[in-house]
Structure 1
Amino acid sequence: MSRRQRITTAVVLAPLPILAVLFLPTPWLAAIVALVLLAGLWEWTHFAGVHERLPRAAFLTANALLMAALVWGGGPSLFTLKLMSMVGVLWWAVVCLWLARPAFGKADTAANRSLKLLAGSLGIIPAWCALGWLHSEDPYGARWTLFALLIVWAADSGAYFAGSRWGKRKLAPTISPGKSWEGVYGGLATSALLAIPAVPVLGLAWSQLPALWLVTLAVAAISVVGDLFESLMKRHSGVKDSGDLFPGHGGLMDRLDSILAALPVFVVGKAWLGL
């Protein structure tokens, strides 16, 4: 993909999620995001080795029903959403172990297909729950949600440009040869800079900046894990991109992978540090 194509697509698409996050009520935003995530999960079923339409549709239906059940059972305290967000944090810790053994689950067996379908659900559902929890918080829920997304975008953009300019040491050559440690450092630095102007916008005191930096860097780091995990699934299935919906960016899952990992870590970290 060319740098110009990548930038043009990002500039055209960026206003849509920003406006949705800032101006839509949480139920409407959650409904739209659920449809987007389920569409991404449709792509994921291809990674898992499930290609027939009927089982793919049944899998999506089951995930949609689970989402509805989680909202219905959450109550005013959002207990189920918070619980699933914490499950998401644990899941992405497990993914780190999976990435250390990239050959695990590669064989096209029924057990591995089931495992990868489960992995798709554990990526999609906790992220959706985290979004609902974060966005519903008053009075700055929408701003916090946008900040979480901006961290991912800043980390991705910083990594892309730093890696293109200085990248020499490969991060995970067997999974994603194009990624470098220099790119990771560029992404972390860009995200850390973003946290500084965010302090007053998020209604924080300047004394809380170190805690915000901690959450920001953790989210920027785990977003790389989300990206690598999708790359690993694509390698297992022998595809380059999850789709061709976005010129220069691939399919939906190519845009969602980092966000899926980032949202649970962000909202749980935010709550843990009292931000």
Structure 2
Amino acid sequence: MLVTRIATALVLVPLAVLGMLYLPTFAITLVFATLMLLGAWEWAGLLRLGDTGHVLLVLATALLIFLFALVRSQLWLVAVDNLLIGAACIWWLIAIGWIVRYPNGWARVMGRTDIGAATGVLTLVAAVAAVTYLHQSDQGALLLLAFFFLVWAADTGAYIAGRTMGRHKLVPAVSPGKTREGAIGGIVAAMVFAGAGAWALGYGGDRLVGFVVLGAWVAVISIVGDLTISMFKRHAGIKDSGTLFPGHGGVLDRLDSVLAAAPWFVAGLHWLPSAI
């Protein structure tokens, strides 16, 4: 399993890096939107919907992504971006409460088809909006690359720290394998990379410090994304959301951290003077 995971990463990571550096924003949006539509199919599986439900959830996600793309050239572009991204940021804060109290009340609220489906559509469409917003901004390719490396650094740091020093469970009711030591390791790794990324982006002074703080928050909220998808999977009684990536599972298994972190990374950049 580990060999398969490493082999898949060795293929996908260079392709992702090259794509972010050299593809135009339209292509980036198209690729990521396609992944989110696959994620919508998996999300329908988490809700245990039938074939019709799977199709309807994918169509709803596709329609909203299309409408979002359609209005990007309009004068109220920023308002549309901010509305989607802001709503997603609020949801991921709410998700922290569900993580803390899981499984109390989950089946009655988040386990409902309508609420679960609406949450999924918001999450997937907002992720497309955030990735598009990052890539079309000033220093867009580098910012998007920095974001993904922050998430990867947090994930890698958490894995290494958890395997070598993990003793205390983080949220055993949601994910028995995750530890507090692993979470701290992920946050530290993200902060270190954020410092290097800020230097590469030409940030200095307060902006550099702010970017490091943002890196720490990206690590925290990426853990929230991971645990949130774990709650949906646990409620559905499945281990992986899909099988698209050998050794890694499905889109939601691989991009759960990105779904939560992307909107908050964009929001955080707004608080850094002249960051976008």
Q: TM-score range by the shorter chain?
A: over 0.9
> Residues 244 and 105 from structure 1, CA distance in 2 versus in 1: closer, same or farther, beyond 3 angstroms?
farther
> Take 2:94 and 2:106, find their aligned partners in 1: how far apart are those partners?
17
Structure 2 SS opposite 1:8: helix
Letter in 2 for 1:148: F
Match of 1:220 in 2: 219
Letter in 1 for 2:229: E
> Take 1:146 and 1:203, find their aligned partners in 2: how far apart are those partners?
15
Answering whether residue 129 of structure 2 is matched by residue 129 of structure 1, we say: yes
Gaps of 5+ in 1: none
**How far has the Cα of 1:104 moved from its partner?**
4.5
Letter in 1 for 2:207: Q
**How far has the Cα of 1:121 moved from its partner?**
1.2
**How far has the Cα of 1:268 moved from its partner?**
0.6
**1:239-250 to 2 correspondence within 5 Å?**
239-250=238-249
User: Structure 1 vs Structure 2: percent identity of aligned residues?
Assistant: 39
Match of 2:62 in 1: 64
- Superposition RMSD in Å: 1.8
**How far has the Cα of 1:108 moved from its partner?**
8.3
> Residues 221 and 45 from structure 1, CA distance in 2 versus in 1: closer, same or farther, beyond 3 angstroms?
same
- Cα deviation, 1:145-188, whole Å, max 9, x if unaligned, reads 11111111111111011100010000010110000000011111
Structure 2 SS opposite 1:246: coil
**How far has the Cα of 1:110 moved from its partner?**
10
> Take 1:129 and 1:110, find their aligned partners in 2: how far apart are those partners?
24
**How far has the Cα of 1:86 moved from its partner?**
1.0
- Cα deviation, 1:96-146, whole Å, max 9, x if unaligned, reads 1111221255448997122111121121111111111111112x0111011
For the Cα contact (< 8 Å) 1:81–1:132, is it kept in 2? no
Letter in 1 for 2:123: G
> What is the TM-score with the length of structure 2 in the denominator?
0.93
Gaps of 5+ in 2: none
Match of 1:237 in 2: 236
> What is the TM-score with the length of structure 1 in the denominator?
0.93
Aligned length: 272
For the Cα contact (< 8 Å) 1:71–1:80, is it kept in 2? no
Match of 1:182 in 2: 181
> Residues 115 and 198 from structure 1, CA distance in 2 versus in 1: closer, same or farther, beyond 3 angstroms?
same
